[in-house]
Structure formats: structure tokens, C-alpha cells
Homo-oligomer: A and B are copies of this chain.
Amino acid sequence: MDSIAIRKLNVGNKPMETYVLLFNNYVNQGVKKVVLYGRGDNIARAVDLYNLISRRLGGLVRLSKVNIGTVEYGGRRSSYIELEVEIFR
């Protein structure tokens, strides 16, 4: 069970439902924490995704931690966000 304790979900520019589906799969697999990662313009999409999940799953999820920072990407600096979502079930 410990091997599926945490998963990372990279939020890109695919339709939002793609990421909701991935998240739901993790929930069904018994994953305890999912980190929603967004970089650059996808920061806003990672936040949108959390709000969407939170609205649909309600008390099943909780935002347990937020990290923000900077990464080098293609020779330039880019901001990122990590939203750590705890899953109760």
C-alpha cells in the first residue's frame, strides 16, 4: 500500500476532464496523496483542476500543502505550483 502513497499529476493543456479522469483513477487505486503540478500558464489550470475536484468530491479531498517556486526550462526561468491533495476514503 505504501508504494501507491503519492502520485504526481502534471497539468498541461489537455482538456480538463483528462486530468479529472486521471485523478479519479488514482483515487480508485487507493492513492493517498496526489500532487497537482502546473508550470507557467498551467499554474492557473492546476488551481482550476483542484477547485473542480474539490467541488465534485467535496469532503473526500483536502488541500494539504502548497509549494511554489522557479525552475529553469528551455534556458529561461519559469514559475511552478505544486498542490498537494490529500485523499480520504
Contacts and interface: CB of A to CB of B under 8 A. Distances in A.
Interface in A58-89: 63, 66, 68-70, 77, 79-81, 83
A24 interface: no
B70 A55 contact: yes
Interface residues of A, number: 20
24 contacts: A40-B44, A41-B41, A41-B44, A42-B44, A43-B43, A43-B44, A43-B47, A44-B44, A44-B79, A47-B68, A47-B79, A47-B80, A48-B79, A50-B68, A51-B68, A51-B69, A51-B70, A51-B77, A51-B79, A55-B70, A63-B68, A66-B66, A66-B68, A68-B83
Given A47-B68, A47-B81, A51-B69, 4 more contacts: A47-B79, A48-B79, A51-B70, A68-B83
